[in-house]
Chain A
Amino acid sequence: MKLGADEPPAMAVDPGAFAAWAGPAILPMTRLARRLAPHADPDDLVQDALVRAWQKRHHFDPDRGTATTWLLAIVADRARSSRRTRARWLRVVDESATVPETPVDDRGPDVDLERAIARLPERQQLAVHLHYFVGLSVDETSAVMTCTPGTVKSTLFDARTRLRALLDTGDSHA
């Protein structure tokens, strides 16, 4: 996947330029929002991330990644907050409630895989979502996760190993 242009020449002062700069990232941002926070409206999450990005735009460093990877990192952060807020809210409403990490769609052909992914540690889930479902390369995934490509490969390997174990034992339904 080829990501968008990086330089934000005028966005520092012009919301219109910011919109143009962020535009190419909207699709991968929406995809990631759907994967990471299926309980939330992905459009709202993307909008929330864009507001955050505007507020933090002076922190963007083109030497550390593209605009899209920076924006995806913000989506991941907002999704994490959204999940935690929802988890707290559910605990208040119903102590026995469980928080589904991924949409429960039994009609899907690979629901076992989805359930197994939901049981991965957070970092492994993020790597899997970014690489396999959003469609980022390893290098782009590493930029979003602010780590080295080698760490991403290692994280993905660990995730696949864990997924195999979960799927082999049928533990993904637990």
Chain B
Amino acid sequence: MPDDDFDGLDALDALDALMDARLRDAGARWRTANTALAEREGSRAGFTTPTRPPHQRRNWWAIAAAAATVAAVGVGIAVFGSNDGHQPVAEKRPNGMASAPTALSGTWDLATYNDASGQPHTVSGNRIIFIVGRGGRLTATGGCGDLTGHVTVTDRTIDFAGFAYGPAQDCARPSPGSVRVVLYALLSGTAQYAIHGDTLTISRHGYAGRLVYKFAPASPDGALLGAWKLQSPAPNGWLTLTKHGYRVDFRCQRLTGSLHYRAHGLVFGTADVWDHSCPHSLHPGREARQNARIRSVLHGAATWSLKGNTLTIAKGNRRVVLTRH
């Protein structure tokens, strides 16, 4: 702001304008003085730094493309949608890059399993599910507690090296023939998988145990989709449910994550958190505590019930109440 604009402003405004001008000046000088940036600014078309020796130059177009390629390969599982036919088909990329099959994406219900001695068992009672989401994110249940983490998938194998087991403190010690022994044995290291029609089999060479899942088509209840206003434990924002994901817009934070629909439940994937500034009227500490209570419900498996325009999502004795927005 030029100095002659100060007429009519009070002293405080004038001081603020001076600081504004000082910052603008500092910013402009910083941009100009930074020679590397200036060089790059002069070569935006190619995103190279001309004064660097050739072996040090960075081609940003190539780096951006390489970053994308490395990320896609590193993640190891394609994230471009699902394969309704559920045949393990490797996707074709425009640049010929190899990619993992998307056939694993989706929700699978455990149907049968062979225990460590090879004895077959049928599964009854609670659903034991295995969900592979976007980016290789895996959620599984083992009968007590959720297991969540990331896996790397190739055409034939699943590498669970980066898989983090969830809390299992509520679990009784598993019996030798229980599915949990097989589940934990297979969900470590690298396992083989095969998909035939709607059946997924996970096994490992040299181990008699195996898990046989049936594909559970995603069937989001249309009544749940859309935006919901948080009411309890605190009226802090909105929850939006889509076919494959959820978003929570708190007043100081936004969460996004994957979402899978079960017959009487929802499975919330681990949230990506974006913080933004709080309005001055809010108390950040109290806001954070309220958000944490809500987030503890919207994480992993939860049940839901709908009465009129009121949706209740519960996890144990904790619940979040929402109304249609």
Which residues of A does B touch, CB under 8 Å?
12-16, 18-20, 22-24, 26-27, 30-31, 34, 43, 46-47, 50-56, 58-59, 73, 77, 109-110, 113-114, 123, 128, 132-133, 135, 145-147, 151, 154-155, 157, 160-161, 163-164
CA gap between A123 and B276 in the complex, in Å: 9
Complex partner residue of B75 from A13, A55, A77, A132, CB under 8 angstroms: A55
- The answer to whether A34 touches B95, judged by C-beta atoms less than 8 angstroms apart, is no
A14-B95, A154-B280 given; name 18 further pairs at CB < 8 Å. A14-B93, A15-B72, A19-B60, A31-B31, A51-B68, A52-B71, A77-B274, A113-B26, A114-B26, A123-B277, A128-B23, A132-B26, A132-B27, A147-B276, A147-B277, A155-B277, A161-B16, A163-B19
- Residues of B near A27 (CB, < 8 A) are 37, 40-41, 44
Number of A-B contacts (CB under 8 A): 121
Is chain A's interface secondary structure helix, strand, loop, or mixed overall? helix
CB B28 to nearest CB in A, in angstroms, measures 8
- Residues of A near B58 (CB, < 8 A) are 43
- The answer to whether A47 touches B63, judged by C-beta atoms less than 8 angstroms apart, is yes
- Residues of A near B274 (CB, < 8 A) are 73, 77, 146
What string of 1s and 0s marks CB contacts (under 8 Å) between B95-130 and chain A? 101000000000000000000000000000000000
- CB of B169 within 8 Å of the partner chain: no
Q: A13-B93, A59-B256, A145-B277 are in contact. Are A47 and B67 (CB under 8 A)?
A: yes
Complex partner residue of A23 from B15, B20, B22, B47, CB under 8 angstroms: B47
Q: A20-B61, A164-B15 are in contact. Are A133 and B97 (CB under 8 A)?
A: no
CA gap between A23 and B44 in the complex, in Å: 9
- The answer to whether B64 touches A19, judged by C-beta atoms less than 8 angstroms apart, is yes
- Residues of B near A58 (CB, < 8 A) are 79, 134
Q: For chain B residues 58-81, which have a beta carbon within 8 Å of chain A?
A: 58, 60-72, 75, 79-80
CA gap between A19 and B15 in the complex, in Å: 44
Complex partner residue of B20 from A15, A110, A155, A160, CB under 8 angstroms: A160
Which residues of B does A touch, CB under 8 Å?
15-16, 19-20, 22-24, 26-27, 29-31, 34, 37, 40-41, 44, 47, 58, 60-72, 75, 79-80, 93-95, 97, 134-135, 254, 256, 272, 274, 276-277, 279-280
- The answer to whether A12 touches B80, judged by C-beta atoms less than 8 angstroms apart, is yes
- The answer to whether B65 touches A19, judged by C-beta atoms less than 8 angstroms apart, is yes
Is chain B's interface secondary structure helix, strand, loop, or mixed overall? helix
CA gap between A46 and B71 in the complex, in Å: 14
CA gap between A59 and B22 in the complex, in Å: 37
- The answer to whether A15 touches B65, judged by C-beta atoms less than 8 angstroms apart, is yes
- Residues of A near B75 (CB, < 8 A) are 55
CA gap between A34 and B34 in the complex, in Å: 10
Q: A23-B60, A27-B40 are in contact. Are A113 and B71 (CB under 8 A)?
A: no
Query: What are 18 A-B residue pairs whose CB atoms fall within 8 Å in the complex?
Result: A12-B80, A15-B93, A15-B97, A19-B62, A26-B44, A26-B60, A26-B64, A27-B44, A30-B37, A34-B34, A53-B67, A54-B72, A55-B75, A59-B256, A132-B24, A133-B27, A133-B30, A163-B19
CA gap between A146 and B254 in the complex, in Å: 9
CA gap between A114 and B60 in the complex, in Å: 29
Complex partner residue of A50 from B44, B63, B95, CB under 8 angstroms: B63
Q: What 6 pairs across the A-B complex have the smallest Cβ distances? A: A15-B68, A19-B64, A146-B276, A132-B27, A54-B68, A50-B67
Q: Whose C-beta in chain A lies nearest to the C-beta of B17?
A: A160
CA gap between A56 and B137 in the complex, in Å: 13
- The answer to whether A51 touches B71, judged by C-beta atoms less than 8 angstroms apart, is yes
CA gap between A53 and B70 in the complex, in Å: 12
CA gap between A22 and B63 in the complex, in Å: 11
CA gap between A13 and B61 in the complex, in Å: 16
CB A47 to nearest CB in B, in angstroms, measures 6
- Residues of A near B135 (CB, < 8 A) are 55
- Residues of A near B19 (CB, < 8 A) are 160, 163-164
Q: A113-B23, A160-B16, A164-B19 are in contact. Are A54 and B67 (CB under 8 A)?
A: yes
CB B23 to nearest CB in A, in angstroms, measures 4
Counting chain A CB atoms within 10 Å of each CB, the highest count among B30, B274, B280 belongs to B30
